[in-house]
Structure 1
Amino acid sequence: MRTNPKSWCRAFHKVGNYCKDVDNNPTESFNSSINKAREKPFVAMLEAIRRLAMVRIAKRICTPYVVMFLADEHKLASMAKVSTSTNGTFEVKVSGDSHRVCLKKMTCTCQKWQICGIPCEHAYGLIIHKTLKAEDYVCQWFRTAIWRRNYEEGLIPQRSAKFWPHTNENKVFAEPPKENQTKADKKRKKGVNESPTKKQPKQKKRIMHCGICGEANHNSKFHKAEFAKPSRQPSQVEPSQGSLTQE
């Protein structure tokens, strides 16, 4: 109850809206289809999205949603047991549960048909029993004629940008690079560092020590290479020979 079930639970869905799902799948599908277009500048992005929608509407005749919906229910619907009643109603039993179905009113007591607009397994079982077409009992909003009417005008192909109307307003250009821009500013602009307003903690500089002589600011590899040179005098090499032998 703390999560407000009216916004997501099917038991609270309004009858007549013909939608059984509450999710953001359409948004995710749209974002996936325009993924490449989003990388472009604003006007070029809108043009790419318009062109994608235009081609898709022209190719697509109808949505396969209803066909997939009924295909998922066919197994249960084919095992339905139908009993005839009065006033055009039928008792349909599926998986041990019985419901009252009326094909004339397109209703079922399970409420699924009224919510999603597509025959439920009980109604579909009755339709199979009476050898009727399930597509004739789908809500009008899912039918091909209505879908085509929504997109009958489609999107009109556009001419290129040089034919677009011009205004007297100032043109928008990218900001020129600053002359005194430091290397840190360039990295920050590319997103390497965090926000410039956030102060970074100061880190102590690590002092490197040699593993042979123990002195700072050089390592054992440099020590060996430096003292192995022939220009070195024996007196310079002698102090570290013991350490080299020990290593």
Structure 2
Amino acid sequence: MKTKPKTWCRAFHKIGSYCEDVENNSVESFNCTIKKAREKPFVAMLEAVRRLAMVQIAKRSALSHSHEGICTPYVKCFLAEEHKTASLCFVHPSTNGAYEVYLGYEKHRVNLNERTCTCMKFQICGIPCEHAYGLILKKTLEAEDYVCEWSRTFKWKENYTEGIVPQRGPRYWPCTGGESVHPPPRPDDEKVDKKRKKGLHESPTKKKPKQKKRIMHCGICGATDHNCRYHQKKNKKNTTQGGTQVESTQGCLTQEK
């Protein structure tokens, strides 16, 4: 309840829109498509987006007009997934076209004339739910006849019949008659130099050079090529040489065996 279920839960969906989607896949797809176009100048970016949309609509138009059948391919996949569950339904008739449909431990009221089911799935997506589909199977009817018009092939074709008209080059574009648009004036060269010196002119995403590491020194002999721990290990290895054992304390005291 804290996340406002009216914005994402199907139980609060508006009846009549016939859409059950709750994700933003269309926005993500659009952003991914115009990724390269966004790097261009304003007019060139709009031209790139227009061209991408024109080509995409042409592809969808060819796909929809080549499809044969009453409903779209999505409806066929939708009903195919429900067929196995719908075949397990038990149907009991009532008056005024209503039926009581049992599925497992649940029962719902279905009316094919009004295209409604108490599970609300039929009204939300416009495609028969498993309870309505179970009733359709028992009555040996065609499920596609009870699909809403927005999921039918003729509506799919209408959406992509009229696409974006191809355009000519900028030389043939009509003039607005307004003032010409010019780039903003550049600041004085001295101000630009000051900004560059302060590092304000650099991109915020530019990687900065790594700082030099602090040079370590040995605490015993003061050399820069090793530390005191390595110095002590080196002295221990040199304590036994030519039958003579030398013990070293801080590199100063020695004793012969």
Please confirm whether the aligned pair reaches a TM-score higher than 0.5, indicating the same fold.
yes
In 1, distance between residues paired with 2:29 and 2:142? 31
Any idea what SS the aligned residue of 1:220 has?
A: coil
In 2, distance between residues paired with 1:184 and 1:21? 48
The alignment status of 1:52 with 2:52, answered yes or no, reads yes
- Structure 1 segment 110-149 matched on structure 2, within 5 A: 110-149=119-158
In 1, distance between residues paired with 2:184 and 2:166? 27
- Alignment counterpart, residue 214 of structure 1, candidates 182, 197, 222: 222
The alignment status of 1:15 with 2:25, answered yes or no, reads no
Q: Deviations over 1:88-125 (max 9, x none)?
A: 22222223322221211111121111112111111122
Which amino acid is the alignment partner of residue 59 of structure 1? Answer: K
In 1, distance between residues paired with 2:91 and 2:26? 37
In 1, distance between residues paired with 2:139 and 2:171? 62
In 1, distance between residues paired with 2:50 and 2:30? 12
Hey, what does 2:203 align to over in structure 1?
A: 189
Q: Gapped runs of 5+ residues in structure 2?
A: 65-71, 227-249, 252-257
Change (3 A) 1:189 1:148: same
Offset of residue 193 of structure 1: 6.9
Offset of residue 159 of structure 1: 1.4
- Alignment counterpart, residue 89 of structure 1, candidates 98, 105, 124: 98
Change (3 A) 1:206 1:40: closer
Any idea what SS the aligned residue of 1:210 has?
A: coil
Any idea what SS the aligned residue of 2:199 has?
A: helix
Which amino acid is the alignment partner of residue 10 of structure 1? Answer: R
In 1, distance between residues paired with 2:112 and 2:87? 17
Which amino acid is the alignment partner of residue 144 of structure 2? Answer: E
Which amino acid is the alignment partner of residue 4 of structure 1? Answer: K
Q: Deviations over 1:213-241 (max 9, x none)?
A: 427xxx328xxxxxxxxxxxxxxxxxxxx
Any idea what SS the aligned residue of 2:171 has?
A: helix
In 1, distance between residues paired with 2:53 and 2:59? 10
Offset of residue 170 of structure 1: 2.8
Any idea what SS the aligned residue of 1:135 has?
A: helix
Aligned length: 211
Any idea what SS the aligned residue of 1:182 has?
A: helix
Which amino acid is the alignment partner of residue 170 of structure 1? Answer: V
142-151 vs 115-124, greater mean Cα deviation: 142-151
Relative to the length of structure 1, the TM-score reads: 0.70
149-158 vs 5-14, greater mean Cα deviation: 5-14
Change (3 A) 1:171 1:163: farther
Q: Gapped runs of 5+ residues in structure 1?
A: 195-203, 222-241
Which amino acid is the alignment partner of residue 111 of structure 1? Answer: M
Offset of residue 13 of structure 1: 2.3
